[in-house]
Amino acid sequence: MKKLLFGLLVAGSCCVGCADDEGGVPIVRIAPNVTRVTGLHFDAGDRIGLTVVRASGTYAENRMMTYDGSLFTSAGFYWYRESGEEAELTAYYPYDEAGTPSEFSVAADQRSGCALSNLMVASKSGVRPSESAVAMTFRSLMADVQIAVNNQTQTQLVEVTVDGTIPTASVDFSVPAATVASDRTPVRITACELQAGSAYEAVLVPQRASMTFTVRTDDGKSRSKTLAEVLLEPNKQYTLSMTLTEEKLDLTLSGEIDNWEPGGELGADEPTDLLEYAGESYRTVEVDGRLWMAENLRYCPDGAAFGSGVWYPGRSGEACSDAEYVRQCGLLYDYATATGRTVAAAASAGGPVRGVCPDGWHIPDQEELASLLASSVEGDFPVGCGFWNAVRSMYGSETKSYLMGVSESDESLRSYLLIENGVKGSIAKLSANNGVSVRCVRDL
């Protein structure tokens, strides 16, 4: 099944071979009535489960009905009208032979299609056996995310994934409602490709979660972006427009709803950008209209040797290569290694100094350092990463860190931003041979 929101449950009219000796025993049939745009329909072979409950008891439970291209039918399933009792009908898709599910999970890998992850329910009370159609509305208990990708790179998309959501829900068909199973672990959902390289879809369990969207391309690169505290609601379809460049992924949120009942936006919280560079992901933060890395760079340039131009962060006076500690603190660079010795040339050209930064990013200049110092940004700066003291050939105090900035001067002393006890302090002069932290700024 591709998608279906509305249908008709029909107690079909009598036909030759359909009645018993007393007559009036119509076969129970379900005839889908698609009222929306082209493409919303069941496919031949789709199965639903139907339960019919009367005051005297259950008339049919989880009866499987199969779609033949125009009708859902089930061999030997009849209406017996002699009692005239009212009944409550509940139908759901997709069919589960184990019984009407009390728990439902969307598929982690939806590349082959989203249909079986879209739990839909229809119910109707006060129904009497009749040859007339019984109108029922199917309602999705899941949330649907449509993803449109604008790929501005020379690569081909391999897959789109969504991290951070729990795939399982408890289901109450009497409401009906699906409630996320909070005791479960979030998993990665691989989206279905609707149109090669440009359109994707993921069906998710309704919940509030931080979702990270990742696009992987055929050159092995991944670019991600996280949306914080997203609220996904049932029977609502959300759209995201992705713009993919060589270094990052941008998302534009939209509350426009296509073919589903009106839904909302994907949360009002500001998204958090992730910069992918040399196999590492970096959080970013906007400061006075400029996008900064919110973490220290941990990239070792080609040809560089630890202990000569680049150093591990210090811990208790010693170099610490522990992966988690490096991730928290980044590496330390002297001025020549960080800038690639391109300061004079860049200054004469009036352009930013890329150095060890990714393409489209640069080492901050003195004006940008001053702007950062004057800003209210504090919490993203690490505490106690230290620096390498080249004069004494030892690590400086872990309570002090310095953030590199470039200048046109050729003086041996450079103006760096001092960070002490995790708080921005002042612009300080430091030897260009010392090893300090680097954070890159995106080019305007």
pLDDT number for residue 6:
38
pTM value > 0.85: no
User: pLDDT, tens digit, for every residue of 169-179?
Assistant: 999 998 889 99
Sorted by sequence, the CB contacts under 8 Å of residue 408 that are 6+ apart come out as 343, 344, 347
* pLDDT cut 70: percent of the chain above it: 79
pLDDT number for residue 170:
96
User: pLDDT, tens digit, for every residue of 313-344?
Assistant: 998 889 999 887 888 889 999 999 998 864 44
Q: Among 334-343, 362-371, 400-409, which stretch is predicted with the lowest mean pLDDT? A: 334-343
**What does pLDDT average to over the chain?**
80
d(CA 24, CA 177): 36
CB 356 within 8 A of CB 264: no
pLDDT number for residue 285:
82
Q: What is the set of domains in the chain, with CATH numbers?
A: 7-140 (2.60.40), 143-277 (2.60.40.2630), 280-442 (no CATH)
DSSP 37: S
pLDDT number for residue 110:
96
pLDDT number for residue 166:
96
Q: Report which secondary-structure segment, H or E, holds 168.
A: strand 168-172
d(CA 56, CA 320): 74
Sorted by sequence, the CB contacts under 8 Å of residue 162 that are 6+ apart come out as 145, 188, 189, 191, 202, 204, 211, 212, 213, 214
CB 44 within 8 A of CB 69: yes
Q: Which amino acid is at 214?
A: T
Pull the structure tokens for residue 320: 């610490």
User: Looking at per-residue confidence, does 129 or 253 come out higher?
Assistant: 129
> DSSP characters for 364-407?
-BHHHHHHHHHSS--TTSPS----EETTTTEE--TTEEEE--B-
Q: Among 75-79, 160-164, 303-307, which stretch is predicted with the lowest mean pLDDT? A: 75-79
- Does the pLDDT of residue 301 top 70, yes or no? yes
- Does the pLDDT of residue 36 top 60, yes or no? no
Summarize the confidence of residues 107-133 as an average pLDDT.
Answer: 86
Q: Among 7-16, 45-54, 103-112, which stretch is predicted with the lowest mean pLDDT? A: 7-16
pLDDT number for residue 298:
92
CB 6 within 8 A of CB 36: yes
Would strands 120-127 and 72-73 be described as parallel, antiparallel, or unpaired? unpaired
Q: Which of the four pLDDT bands, split at 50, 70 and 90, describes residue 72?
A: confident
Q: Which of the four pLDDT bands, split at 50, 70 and 90, describes residue 364?
A: very high
Pick from 193, 195, 168: nearest CA to 182: 168
* Exposed/middle/buried for residue 246 (C-beta within 10 Å: 0-12, 13-18, 19+): middle
